[in-house]
């Protein structure tokens, strides 16, 4: 399977956490996971490397927020689902994320069982 998931988060421990949580899937080659530490870096990777199958993005990041990145991703890659991740899962944040094109919103601390279900759902829809 040639599935590429791009994770966008400015926190340095996120990559290690995701690699540990998804180690079986990564080792089995179920999908590839790359990491960007900023929204501009994520946009660059999505344009230069290859279009991701799924984007998981934090909302609150310095410079360009995940919410500011969303319309740019949707314009460049309208078929790529984006799931936003935030520490603030209030109704207003959820509304803004959905209005700007997110297919879902997860709150921190991340429930990785729920995230696995979201990934499975999105990847099945993309297949």
pLDDT of 127: 65
CATH number at residue 102: 3.40.50.2300
Question: Average pLDDT for residues 73-92, to the nearest whole number?
Answer: 91
110-125: pLDDT as tens digits? 999 999 988 888 777 7
- Domain membership of residue 27 as a residue range: 4-126
pLDDT of 50: 73
Residues 6+ apart with CB under 8 A from 105: 83, 84, 85, 86, 89, 93, 94, 97, 98
pLDDT of 124: 78
Q: CA angle, corner 31, sides to 5 and 93, nearest 5?
A: 30
Q: Name the domain count of the chain.
A: 1
pLDDT of 88: 83
Q: Left (φ > 0), alpha (ψ -120 to 50) or beta: where does 125 sit?
A: alpha
């Amino acid at each position: 399977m040639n599935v590429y998931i791009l994770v966008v988060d400015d926190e340095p421990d996120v990559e290690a956490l995701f690699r540990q949580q998804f180690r079986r899937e990564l080792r089995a080659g179920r999908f590839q996971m790359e990491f960007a530490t900023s929204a501009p870096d994520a946009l660059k990777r999505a344009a230069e490397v290859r279009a991701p199958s799924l984007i998981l993005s934090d909302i609150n990041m310095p410079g360009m927020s995940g919410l500011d990145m969303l319309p740019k991703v949707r314009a460049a890659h309208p078929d790529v689902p984006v799931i936003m991740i935030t520490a603030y899962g209030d109704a207003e944040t959820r509304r803004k994320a959905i209005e700007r094109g997110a297919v879902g919103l997860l709150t921190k601390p991340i429930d990785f069982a729920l995230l696995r279900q979201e990934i499975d759902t999105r990847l099945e829809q993309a297949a």
